[in-house]
Amino acid sequence: MLAPKDFLDALSGTASRLFNGDTPLPKAEIESQFKMLLQSAFSKLDLVSREEFDSQMVVLARTRARLESLEAKVAELEAKLTAPDQ
């Protein structure tokens, strides 16, 4: 995984070369090269898609709900064990 500082340094260096070249590039060419640069940089980062993130959030919410339910049952059982016999 590329460190954030290294990523920004590479991005800055490439952008500087694009914009400060000897011959100015047409806007479409600059956009195309910048897009390729970003895609390359993002592929080196440890990123997940929005879809994957959302599905993991659903799993996490479900897990938390189950955990809370189990904690409530354990608390109920502990209360029964420590309650004075009637």
More confident residue, 70 or 43: 70
**What mean pLDDT comes out for the span 44-69?**
93
Indicate whether 61 and 75 sit together in one domain.
yes
- Domain count for the chain, please give it: 2
Cβ pair 43, 69 in contact under 8 A: no
Indicate whether 42 and 57 sit together in one domain.
no
Domain of residue 58 covers: 48-86
Indicate whether 85 and 58 sit together in one domain.
yes
What is the spatial distance between Cα 86 and Cα 75, in angstroms, rounded to a whole number? 20
- Using the CB atoms, write b or e for 44-75: b if 16+ within 10 Å: eeeeeeeeeeeeeeeeeeeeeeeeeeeeeeee
Indicate whether 65 and 76 sit together in one domain.
yes
Asked if pLDDT for residue 86 goes beyond 60, the answer is no
At 78, the pLDDT band (50, 70, 90 cuts) reads: very high
Indicate whether 26 and 61 sit together in one domain.
no
What is the spatial distance between Cα 24 and Cα 6, in angstroms, rounded to a whole number? 26
**What mean pLDDT comes out for the span 21-26?**
65
Indicate whether 32 and 11 sit together in one domain.
yes
What is the spatial distance between Cα 61 and Cα 63, in angstroms, rounded to a whole number? 5
- pLDDT at residue 85 in the model: 67
Asked if pLDDT for residue 1 goes beyond 60, the answer is no
